[in-house]
Structure 1
Amino acid sequence: MTNPVDQDLRVPAGREGGRDGGRDPQAERRLWLRRYHPSPDPAARLVCLPHSGGAAPYFRALSEALSPAVEAVAVQYPGRQDRRTEPLVGDLGELATRLAEVLDDLLTDEPGPFALFGHSMGALLAFEVARRLEQDGREVAGLFVSGMRAPSAQRNEWLHLAEDAELLREVRGLGGTEARLLEDEEIVRAALPVIRSDTRAVETYHYRAASGAGADLRCPVIALTGTEDPRVTPVEAGTWRDHTSGGFELHAFPGDHFYLNAFTAALGRLMRARLTGGPDE
């Protein structure tokens, strides 16, 4: 696997604003990005990255909660739903580099404040995308990370090598809508390759600190966690503070790994306040 920090984290050179002669930036944006509540003049944009096995529509309710002040841009990973004919990407570094290119193009055409929000696998991916964009000179307004241990607090896990039954048992144990859907055998057959590939991406990810004495990021980091989440302890969530020279906040909500299903409105208020400079509502 290509370690994301064994290479230059910047968007590859040779592009003006991320463009080159072999890519169609607008076509790629249509593949990767979804806007469920477009805003003509948002104060900021929030790029939302789904969890393992997840997809862009998961953020439809949050998009509504943020609109119109903050425009949510949900990411659709390859290999699922309307991108199911494309190969899955089981390497977090590759996924981060490809997504950073798409966002670099978007920000060239639509400049303005933007932040990143990732849940579970999406949190690690958002972190690596933010690193690449900052190294390429982009200013990230904030990084919201949910339901995931800090990069420096990862555990050695090999669930992606487990039998189907064990993998499904673990996913069901996390709660959320996915646990109920996975009672349907047809859905299980479609979802298992996606879940296994995403789990591989997380479990084979290896964090390497930024070179020199500097922090990985300059932007503020806001860590979000469920008090009963079996995948991350409060201490592990708190170590996100070690990855930025910007501000840090830790917010805990009652609930399990998918606590955010019950706190969409509260998350929307918190994110709007941080991205628009307004008071906490």
Structure 2
Amino acid sequence: MTTKTPWLATHRARTPAARRLIAFPHAGGSASFFRSWVPHLDDDVELGVVQYPGREGRMAEPLVPSMTELATAVAEAVAADRAGRETVFFGHSMGAAVAYETLRLLTAAGSSTVTRLCVSGRQPDGAEVVTAPRHRTDGELLASMGALGGTRSDVLEDPDLRRMVLDIARNDYYLIDSYRRDPDAARLDVEVVALMGEEDAQTASPRMEEWSSVTTGPFSLHVFTGGHFYLAEHAESVVRLATATSVGSPGSRPVRGE
């Protein structure tokens, strides 16, 4: 039995769906970012995307400023599914941290059906240099978003849309800047798959490999061509990798487009 919740947007529902892939968006992102994944899903896989408050269908709801509050709410929504289906988490950038913390809560509560955690575009402990968290200025947000390339220029050119986008991004950047992973947290018992773009200035292969320390299960690292949002270009390959029965050994070379 699945309980409908605003926290999970279902882009493709199969009846019955034997497995489900749950995606966690990046800072400033929303559930619609993963809509392009739908054509690449197998028939037995349901795609659910975490919809953070304050965007799309939840625009009237207040933004969530802390990782603890966000992960707790998402964990409750995920646990509400009583079908006991095999689940894969896929988190990109900020979403990688949210997915990890959500899985920690589910595991501690004994209610996890997650067998694979995919962490994309974020090192386990974030930036090399950690500074005191603060709310970033419009200029700082625009510079960061422009460097990452995740927001369409026409959105930022519209004053009303730009204000909305910047308010959401400011909240999410503060949330992730305030977040510190507990180095003494109990290790997970799931497969962990790390993914990154070879030209992403925010990630480095040696640091991405540190995700292996969060689990007692198998680990692999896969490098794709492209930058921070490499997954837009490689949607089919990423979906196939995330939902494969067996991921296998890590790719030794960047994946070129199909």
Task: Report if TM-score (shorter chain) is over 0.5.
Answer: yes
The aligned residue for residue 124 of structure 1 is: 97
Task: List alignment gaps of at least 5 residues for structure 2.
Answer: 249-257
Report the Cα distance in structure 2 between the residues aligned to 1:265 and 1:76, rounded to whole angstroms. Answer: 22
- Higher helix proportion (structure 1 or 2): 1
With over 3 angstroms needed to count, the CA separation of the structure-2 counterparts of 1:121 and 1:184, relative to structure 1, is same
- Higher strand proportion (structure 1 or 2): 2
The aligned residue for residue 187 of structure 1 is: 161
Q: Spell out, residue by residue over 1:16-45, the C-alpha distance to the aligned partner (whole angstroms, 9 max, x if none).
A: x9xxxxxxx94xx43111111111133311
After superposition, the CA RMSD in angstroms is 2.4
The aligned residue for residue 35 of structure 1 is: 10
Is 1:156 aligned to residue 130 of structure 2? yes
Task: List alignment gaps of at least 5 residues for structure 1.
Answer: 1-16, 18-24
1:270 to 235, 241, 258: 241
Equivalent residue letter for 2:232: N
Q: Spell out, residue by residue over 1:44-102, the C-alpha distance to the aligned partner (whole angstroms, 9 max, x if none).
A: 11111100000001111113312423211111101112111111001011100111011
Q: CA deviation at 1:176?
A: 3.0
The aligned residue for residue 242 of structure 1 is: 213
Report the Cα distance in structure 2 between the residues aligned to 1:199 and 1:86, rounded to whole angstroms. Answer: 18
SS of the residue 1:228 aligns to: coil
1:216 to 174, 177, 187: 187
Number of aligned positions between the proteins: 249
With over 3 angstroms needed to count, the CA separation of the structure-2 counterparts of 1:158 and 1:53, relative to structure 1, is farther
With over 3 angstroms needed to count, the CA separation of the structure-2 counterparts of 1:153 and 1:191, relative to structure 1, is closer
Report the Cα distance in structure 1 between the residues aligned to 2:187 and 2:174, rounded to whole angstroms. Answer: 23
Equivalent residue letter for 1:246: G
Report the Cα distance in structure 2 between the residues aligned to 1:156 and 1:96, rounded to whole angstroms. Answer: 22
Report the Cα distance in structure 2 between the residues aligned to 1:208 and 1:170, rounded to whole angstroms. Answer: 26
Q: CA deviation at 1:152?
A: 7.6
Q: TM-score, normalised on structure 1? A: 0.81
Q: CA deviation at 1:115?
A: 1.5
What fraction of aligned residue pairs are identical, expressed as a percent? 37
Aligned pairs (5 A) from 1:98-177: 98-106=73-81, 108=82, 110-137=83-110, 138-151=112-125, 155-157=129-131, 160-177=134-151
